[in-house]
Amino acid sequence: MSGSALSGPPLSGPKGYPIVGVLPMLRANTLQFLVDAARRYGDLVPLRLMMSTAYLLNHPAHVEHVLQTNYKNYRKAPMIDRLKPIFGDGLVTSEDEFWSRQRSLMQPSFHRKRIEALAGPMVEVTQRHLDTWRMRAASGLEFNLSEDISCLTLEVVLKTMFSSGLGEDGPALSRALVLANEVISKRVWDLTSLGSLLPTKKNREFNKAVALLRGVVERMIEQRRATKDYGNDLLGILLEAAAADTGEFMTRELLRDEVITLMLAGYESTATMVAWAIFFLSQHPRHLEALRTEVDTMLAGRAPTAEDLKSLDYTRRVIQEVGRLRPSIWWFARVAVQDDIIGGQPIKAGTMVLISQYLLHTQPSIWDDPERFDPERFQAHNVMKRSKFAYLPFGAGPRVCIGSGFAMMEMQFILSMIFRAFDVRITSDANPAFGSFLSLRPNEDFRAVCTARRRH
Ligand code: HEM
């Protein structure tokens, strides 16, 4: 347990309304509400929600306690169940022994070497996608950058998962993923599960999208299993992992759930960070120049490979800084299984604790001039000065993101390939508001104009 005493001084927090507590404020503007609460009330803030009190944890030691030291005592909050109709029993939504066995089975598939074997298809898809930017550059027309990058990361996940392509199922599968993503992002906020039960047009479309996704993925799994030729893509790697155990353990349904989970967990969060990275670089010419010098020197005009990832070090630091200021997943919740003590405060079984990456990443007591964009914060000597739990764009502890290596590689490739070939000017708001969505994307999509880069 973190904290030395069994009960600390009484904590204060925002007042809220009778009965509902702070819920209306939390729902109206989650980001601003949590920022204000943390700045005003400190490391451990009680938040009254209906009949219970949740705690907002703003100290890295408290976060370490929940995510690492005593993680077995904390389960994901009930709103995660809203994702079950599509994520099924995949890693994001499962718990306890079931999760633990499944995570051990999947972990080797995400070993660095295995992920690096996906570099070729990743670069190929990005190159093909950026060929369409040549037409954009020639036309000089403004385009929706956020949407374009989402399409790209979706193409990447589909190509790395099913290298052989999906044939005529491809476009329908992409549409189903986008629709499912949109619906579940809203459902997490739905306090009752009533919204998902109503026979609305959106719900019918969602159910159809889930059926289609499941059908296509199951068919792909069956085809591969029948030929026993698993292939070198992500699906092949997972099939091998499934077979390496007793063969019984990862059933077809479970493998299907894991495949859908990986596709959904991966594409939008990566796209959000790439789009912000382009935005920040367009605002900071000095950092853009440094990134370009690195890309020009290390790649000398050719496409990147897995071997280049180490030398694209500045590019990596830019991405890490973007992950600090705009972590796509910016808060999550856990519920205590048994009574506990955090920072001297008794936490009763059933109590919810909230952790916000965005708050930790912009806390003035941890980060010097937190709003300043500065990739140098991620030089090794600076990283060593901070708690590991002060920076967690991919979460932390045993439930840390399994796809972080995949996402980092993808983002390094995409950014180096964009900026070696193009200049990008953001034409939408220079000071965009954010925080209205489940992921930390801007409230209005980014718009941009690109031009072919003139080399000096
Ligand atoms: C920039 C992109 C990404 C970000 C910011 C991100 C962030 C996160 C975070 C914060 C968690 C932990 C959530 C929690 O503890 O409640 C997580 C879990 C997870 N992520 Fe990611 N993720 C990204 C990309 C990906 C990709 C590309 C994949 C798959 C290829 C992926 C698959 C998963 C899975 C399966 C989990 C659940 C792990 C478990 O509970 O065992 N993510 N991610």
Among the atoms of ligand 1, which is closest to the Cα of residue 234? 30
Of residues 435 and 400, more confidence is placed in 400
Distance, CA 393 to ligand 1 centroid (Å)?
9
Q: Which tokens hold the place of 424? A: 């990008």
Amino acid making up residue 390: A
Residue type, 91: L
User: What's the one-letter identity of residue 260?
Assistant: I
- pLDDT of amino acid 3: 41
Encoded tokens for 155? 């193409």
Nearest CA to ligand 1 atom 21: 401
350 torsion bin: left (phi>0), alpha (psi -120 to 50), beta (else): left
What percent of the chain shows pLDDT beyond 90? Answer: 68
State pLDDT tens for residues 150-191.
Answer: 999 999 999 999 887 777 777 888 888 888 888 887 777 665
- State in Å: Cα 19 to ligand 1 middle: 35
Q: Whose CA is nearest to atom 19 of ligand 1?
A: 401
* Confidence at residue 439, expressed as pLDDT on a 0 to 100 scale: 86
Number of the ligand 1 atom closest to the C-alpha atom of 410: 27
Instruction: Decide if 239 contacts 109 (C-beta within 8 A).
Output: no
Q: Quick one: which atom of ligand 1 is closest to the CA of 332?
A: 16
Closest to 280 (Cα-Cα) out of 269, 265, 291: 291
Residue 192 banded pLDDT, cuts 50, 70, 90: low
Residue carrying structure tokens 């619906």: 183
Residues 325-353: tens digit of each pLDDT: 999 999 999 999 999 999 999 999 999 99
Q: Both tokens of residue 368?
A: 């010097």
pLDDT, the chain, mean:
90
Confidence of residue 7 (pLDDT cuts 50, 70, 90): low
Q: Where are the alpha helices (DSSP H) in 313-450?
A: 313-325, 357-361, 380-383, 404-421
Terminal alpha carbon distance of the chain = 58
The single residue listed with the structure tokens 């950092």 is: 287
Are 378 and 320 in contact by the 8 Å Cβ rule? The answer is yes
What sign for the dihedral angle of Cα 260, 265, 271, 272? Answer: positive
Q: 4: pLDDT confidence band, cut at 50, 70 and 90?
A: very low
CA of 394 to the centre of ligand 1 (A): 6
User: CB of 13 within 8 A of CB of 45?
Assistant: yes
Query: In ligand 1, which atom is closest to the CA atom of 102?
Result: 41
Residue 9 Cα to ligand 1 midpoint, Å, equals: 36
Instruction: Please identify, by atom number, the ligand 1 atom nearest to the C-alpha of residue 258.
Output: 35
Q: CA geometry: angle at 360 spanning 356 and 366, to 5°?
A: 175
H or E element in which residue 143 lies? strand 143-144
Which residue's CA is the closest to the ligand 1 atom numbered 30? 403
Whole-angstrom distance, CA of residue 58 vs CA of residue 66: 12
Residues enclosing ligand 1, CB less than 6 A? 76, 91-92, 103, 261-262, 265-266, 269-270, 273, 327-329, 332, 393-395, 399, 401-403, 406-407
Whole-angstrom Cα distance, residue 344 to residue 342? 5
CA pair distance 394, 357, nearest whole angstrom: 9
Q: How many whole angstroms from 209 Cα to the centroid of ligand 1?
A: 22
Residue 2 pLDDT: 43
Residue located nearest, by CA, to atom 13 of ligand 1: 395
Atom of ligand 1 nearest to the CA of 103: 41
Asked whether residue 129 carries a pLDDT value surpassing 80, the answer given is yes
- Cα of 402 from ligand 1 centre, angstroms: 6
Domains and CATH numbers, the chain: 23-452 (1.10.630.10)
Kindly report the protein residue whose alpha carbon is nearest to atom 2 of ligand 1.
270
Distance CA 202, CA 180 (A): 10
Distance from Cα 234 to the centre of ligand 1, integer Å: 16
Q: Which amino acid is at 365?
A: S
- Does 264 have pLDDT greater than 80? yes
CA distance 358 to 362: 6
Alpha helices for 165-247 (secondary structure H): 170-187, 194-197, 201-227, 234-244
DSSP for residue 188: T
For residue 387, give the DSSP letter.
Answer: -
Nearest residue by C-alpha to atom 26 in ligand 1: 266
* Dist CA 309 CA 292 (whole Å): 15
Task: Please choose from 91, 401, 404, 440 the residue to mutate so as to test ligand 1's pocket, defined by most ligand atoms within 8 A of CB.
Answer: 401
The mean pLDDT value for 286-305 works out to 96
DSSP 330: -
